[in-house]
């Protein structure tokens, strides 16, 4: 069965500092991978996705993520964090073999940004 | 992407009553899903809403408790029946399989319905 691990429940960074959120997945083949962001009281917004090709994917709001097959990881990065980035971030994995495959979400990482 | 709206955005309900949540999409989509997000938790898939047929429920969720309708390709409802305080949660609608999209797995979420049961 597929699964996602986000080892950091809560991260605090200073505004302007760099950010890396960790995500490890378990899946039998190359999966689809996603990062979503949820601001307080809001639904989830898709930040970026990896399906195939270049393993470094660019997303919205200046985020990027790198797929590393050897490490089963898909870490999210941002070079300079803004106060508006404070939110909860979810990594998700989905199957890719024909038709719909269930998407599994990680437990989330809550990001706090301090001035 | 798609624009997804949910009604109501929040509600406070009494134990034993039922609430129906509506999800409307601005374009036709193949897949519609309902998730629950309990306080401080991640998302748990309740069911896949199938157009013109019965929803497909995940383990631990049953139709009697969470009846779902999907009369067309742009609309779905989720009812939370005979509510108890344990049903207090955020309920999220999502869609996948957009025309021109990359895959069914790429999902877009509504703003959610925050339910409190007293």
Rg, Å, chain B Cα set: 14
Supply the mean pLDDT for chain B: 90
Q: Which two tokens stand for residue A47?
A: 């930040």
- Residue A84: phi, psi to the nearest 5? -70, -10
Q: Which two tokens stand for residue B116?
A: 């409190």
Q: How confident is the model at residue B106 (pLDDT cuts 50, 70, 90)?
A: confident
CA B74 vs. chain centroid, Å, equals 13
List of chain A residues with pLDDT < 50: none
Can you give the pLDDT at residue B82? 97
Give the C-alpha separation, B33 to B110, whole Å: 10
Query: With an 8 Å Cβ cutoff, is A32 touching chain B?
Result: yes
Identify the residue among B41, B103, B110, B114 best suited for mutation to test binding to A, counting A beta carbons within 10 A and taking the highest. Answer: B103
Identify the residue among B8, B104, B114 best suited for mutation to test binding to A, counting A beta carbons within 10 A and taking the highest. Answer: B104
For residue B101, pLDDT over 70 is answered with no
For residue B41, pLDDT over 90 is answered with no
Closest partner residue to B105 among A36, A94, A108, by Cβ?
Answer: A94
Can you give the pLDDT at residue A100? 62
Can you give the pLDDT at residue A64? 97
Give the C-alpha separation, A104 to A112, whole Å: 24
Whether the Cβ atoms of residue B23 and residue B31 lie closer than 8 Å to each other: no
Can you give the pLDDT at residue A45? 92
For residue B76, pLDDT over 70 is answered with yes
Give the C-alpha separation, B34 to B16, whole Å: 21
Mean pLDDT of B93-111: 76
Can you give the pLDDT at residue B83? 97
Q: How confident is the model at residue B100 (pLDDT cuts 50, 70, 90)?
A: low
Can you give the pLDDT at residue B104? 54
Mean pLDDT of B5-15: 96
Contacts 24+ apart (CB under 8 A), A64-70: A65/A33, A65/A35, A67/A33, A69/A30
Q: Do A44 and B109 touch (CB under 8 A)?
A: yes
**Interchain CB contacts (distance < 8 Å): A and B:** 55
3-state secondary structure of A60: helix
Supply the mean pLDDT for chain A: 91
């Amino acid at each position: 069965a597929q699964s996602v691990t986000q080892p950091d429940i809560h991260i605090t960074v200073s505004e302007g500092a760099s950010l890396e959120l960790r995500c490890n997945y378990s899946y039998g083949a190359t999966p689809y991978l996603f990062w979503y962001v949820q601001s307080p009281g809001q639904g989830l917004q898709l930040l970026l996705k990896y399906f195939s090709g270049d393993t470094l994917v660019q997303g919205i709001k200046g985020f990027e993520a790198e797929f590393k097959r050897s490490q089963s990881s898909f870490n999210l990065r941002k070079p300079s964090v803004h106060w508006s980035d404070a939110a909860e971030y979810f990594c998700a994995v989905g199957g890719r073999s024909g038709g719909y495959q269930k998407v599994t979400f990680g437990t989330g990482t809550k990001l706090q940004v301090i001035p | 992407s798609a624009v997804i709206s949910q009604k109501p955005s929040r509600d406070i309900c009494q134990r034993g009553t039922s609430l129906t949540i509506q999800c409307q999409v601005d374009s036709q989509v193949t897949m519609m899903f309902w998730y629950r997000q309990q306080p401080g938790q991640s998302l748990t898939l309740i069911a896949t809403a199938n157009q013109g047929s019965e929803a497909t429920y995940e383990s631990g969720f049953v139709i009697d408790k969470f009846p779902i309708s999907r009369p067309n390709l742009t609309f779905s409802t989720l009812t939370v029946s005979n509510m108890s305080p344990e049903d207090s949660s955020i309920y999220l609608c999502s869609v996948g399989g957009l025309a021109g999209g990359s895959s069914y797995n790429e999902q877009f979420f509504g703003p959610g319905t925050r339910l409190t049961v007293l």
